[in-house]
Amino acid sequence: MHNFLKIYYFIDKFNRQEIIKLNPNIALIYRNYSKNFDLELIRKIKGLCKKQSREFYISNNLKIALKLNLDGLYLPAFRKNLNYKNITLRKNFKIIGSAHNIPELKIKENQGCETIFISPIFKTNKNNYLLDVNKFNFIAKNSKKKIAAIGGINSSNIKRINLTKSVAIASITWIKKNRPK
């Protein structure tokens, strides 16, 4: 893998063996939109992350993130309410989020996101739309926040991220394919 400032890995279930095999510097984001949050499951993930000194974020649920003392909250692009920025949070708690265009990027800034994922940089299986390097950089230059690339990253295009303002990447498939077996 390349040496980015930060790598984020999205999960939607708890697979202990999969997580253990990841480099401990890879932060986890639990993102499961299909069912209610299972507090015991999230506690298991948190416990394993704590043992590995791995950052752990949860998507869309500030209350659980604070209650369980997680590292932070991930706000997807569709989450547009602005009531996150003015909340008093503990010192090391981070809000991160994603955007697809400049208006969404500005919303993420107003929500207090310190890192913003811009997607999709490359073509994905779910979507034929892609930004590619030039459009990605055009959107990224509109922010002073840390920028992360997400979407369609694979072994053949990973080097192209060096042409962007991205200080981090987020992935699912590429990390799964490139982690130790």
pLDDT tens, 73-120? 999 999 888 776 667 778 899 999 999 999 999 999 999 999 999 999
Fold adopted by 6-178: TIM Barrel (3.20.20)
Give the model confidence (pLDDT) of 147-164 as tens digits.
Answer: 999 998 988 888 899 899
User: Minimal CA–CA distance to 119: which of 72, 68, 161?
Assistant: 161
Show the tokens assigned to 176. Answer: 């799964």
What does each C-alpha distance from 128 to 124, 131, 159 come to in angstroms? 6, 10, 21
Domain chopping of the chain, boundaries: 6-178
